[in-house]
């Protein structure tokens, strides 16, 4: 049989097919050469700097991330229990959030081997932890965990002054009293942060184990904005007793008013911004009942109040039910107040049981008397300084009177 040779387009097509196959094989070989070996060589890439990416490096990361406490743990301590670490690699991120989405601050160590929170954790709260690390080849590893902190059986809170949103005088400290005696004062003090505008160094001082006051070295500058963050929730104030407060308090310092009482001259010079605006005649404590010397801060104001000697150890000596224009200076009962029974004592001699008296009328209705003027021009936090009395300086813990401690004594 005669078979005609194939020629023309059909022949070219067949040869073209063989050429295409050959070229395809060459391309496959070139592609394979770009891989770097291994079964997944065809998926490699570079990071733009000539270094293989984590994916291109291939294999599982050698970095090992550890989180304590373990996933699902309950009744976890609020301090010291949360720790994140990395072995055979360095931590690159640690994110800890509570069940409300609030992040917990912390710092990765310089060598990348660990992370700890910057503060304690809140009680009875669930936390989520995500941590990532890289090994020396840049390959990543990550771990996630969650746990719940303990619910305390015993708690404490702090009652404080001044109130949130108030305007106070330049002598007003931030003073907080705790409902339980504190045996871990450093932990409690660390959980209270005071910031100011303009900025000033503010330090805390403990009076006993249940009171902590904060103040600057000198009186506040007029107009200062003070913010106090009480992050006491979860703080172990004493063994097995935890704080349960999380609150922000802000107050503003008003104009500068400092009044100086001279117990010998029987006068009070009222100064605003360092200038005398009024001089008032006063009477102070008589012999045997002298008024304390020193710097005292107005802590309360009463339009009318009752003063009973029985409450301060002067049994039966007086009981005045309607003392007008009264402002407290000490916890032990020293006031600057209106006096309608003092006769001609004002400016002439000392006749009180330790208080500073200003002329007034019964009922306090006359706005023109000295006591009413001083009451109307004073605010909580104003300073009253007494000098030339025969009594010692007031105890700094008696009222809000820590200004009677030097800065070195306050901060030690």
So which residues are the catalytic ones? 337, 355
- Can you read off the two tokens belonging to residue 275? 């200038």
Rg (CA), the chain: 38
Enumerate the β-bridge partners of residue 108. Answer: 115
Nearest Cα neighbor of 163 from 255, 227, 254, 250 is: 250
Please report where in the chains the tokens 């690159």 appear, as a residue.
92
Nearest Cα neighbor of 162 from 150, 170, 151 is: 170
HSE of 228 in the Cβ direction (CA atoms, 13 Å)? 29
In angstroms, rounded to a whole number, what is the distance separating the alpha carbons of residues 386 and 322? 25
- Can you read off the two tokens belonging to residue 116? 């700890």
- For residues 66-78, b (16+ Cβ closer than 10 Å) or e, as one string? ebebeeeeeebeb
DSSP annotation of 41 = G
- In which element (H, E) is residue 96 found? strand 90-98
Distances (CA, A) of 190 to 20, 235, 237, 355: 77, 10, 11, 38
In angstroms, rounded to a whole number, what is the distance separating the alpha carbons of residues 105 and 116? 9
In angstroms, rounded to a whole number, what is the distance separating the alpha carbons of residues 412 and 410? 6
Report the SS3 class of residue 273.
Answer: coil
Beta-strand pair 246-253/225-231: antiparallel
Please report where in the chains the tokens 């097919």 appear, as a residue.
17
- Can you read off the two tokens belonging to residue 34? 């770009």
Nearest Cα neighbor of 59 from 82, 36, 77, 81 is: 36
CB 108, CB 86: distance < 8 Å: no
Enumerate the β-bridge partners of residue 52. Answer: 46
CB 213, CB 155: distance < 8 Å: no
CB 291, CB 389: distance < 8 Å: yes
Report the SS3 class of residue 287.
Answer: coil
């Amino acid at each position: 049989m005669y078979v005609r040779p194939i020629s023309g387009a059909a022949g070219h097509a067949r040869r073209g097919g063989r050429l295409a196959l050959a070229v395809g094989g060459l391309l496959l070989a070139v592609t394979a050469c770009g891989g770097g070996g291994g079964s997944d060589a065809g998926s490699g890439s570079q990071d733009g700097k000539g270094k293989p990416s984590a994916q291109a490096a291939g294999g599982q990361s050698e970095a090992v991330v550890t989180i304590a406490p373990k996933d699902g743990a309950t009744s976890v301590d609020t301090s010291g229990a949360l720790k994140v670490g990395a072995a055979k690699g360095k931590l690159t991120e640690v994110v800890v959030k509570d069940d409300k989405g609030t992040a917990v601050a912390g710092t990765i160590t310089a060598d990348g081997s660990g992370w700890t929170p910057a503060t304690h954790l809140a009680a009875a709260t669930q936390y989520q932890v995500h941590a990532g690390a890289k090994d020396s080849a840049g390959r990543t590893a990550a771990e996630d965990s969650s746990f719940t902190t303990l619910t305390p059986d015993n708690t404490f809170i702090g009652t404080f002054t001044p109130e949130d949103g108030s305007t106070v005088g330049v002598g007003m400290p931030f003073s907080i009293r705790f409902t339980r005696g504190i045996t871990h004062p450093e932990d409690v003090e660390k959980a209270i942060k005071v910031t100011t505008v303009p900025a000033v160094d503010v330090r805390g001082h403990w009076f006993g184990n249940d009171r902590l006051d904060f103040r600057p070295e000198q009186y506040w500058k007029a107009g200062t904005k003070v913010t106090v963050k009480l992050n006491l929730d979860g703080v172990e104030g004493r063994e097995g007793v935890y704080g349960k407060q999380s609150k922000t308090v802000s107050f503003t310092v008003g104009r500068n008013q400092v009044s100086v009482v001279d117990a010998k001259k029987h006068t009070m010079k009222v100064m605003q911004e360092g200038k005398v605006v009024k001089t008032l005649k006063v009477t102070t404590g008589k012999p045997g009942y002298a008024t304390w010397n020193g710097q005292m801060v107005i802590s309360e104001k009463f339009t009318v109040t009752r003063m009973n000697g029985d409450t301060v150890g002067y049994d039966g000596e007086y009981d005045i039910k309607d003392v007008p224009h009264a402002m407290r200076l000490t916890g032990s009962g020293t006031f600057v107040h209106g006096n309608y029974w003092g006769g001609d004592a004002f400016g002439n001699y000392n006749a009180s049981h330790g208080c500073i008296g200003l002329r007034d009328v019964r009922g306090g209705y006359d706005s023109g008397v000295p006591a009413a003027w001083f009451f109307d021009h004073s605010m909580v936090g104003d300073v009253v300084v007494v000098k030339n009395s025969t009594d010692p300086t007031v105890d700094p813990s008696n009222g809000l009177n820590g200004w009677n401690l030097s800065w070195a004594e306050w901060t030690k």
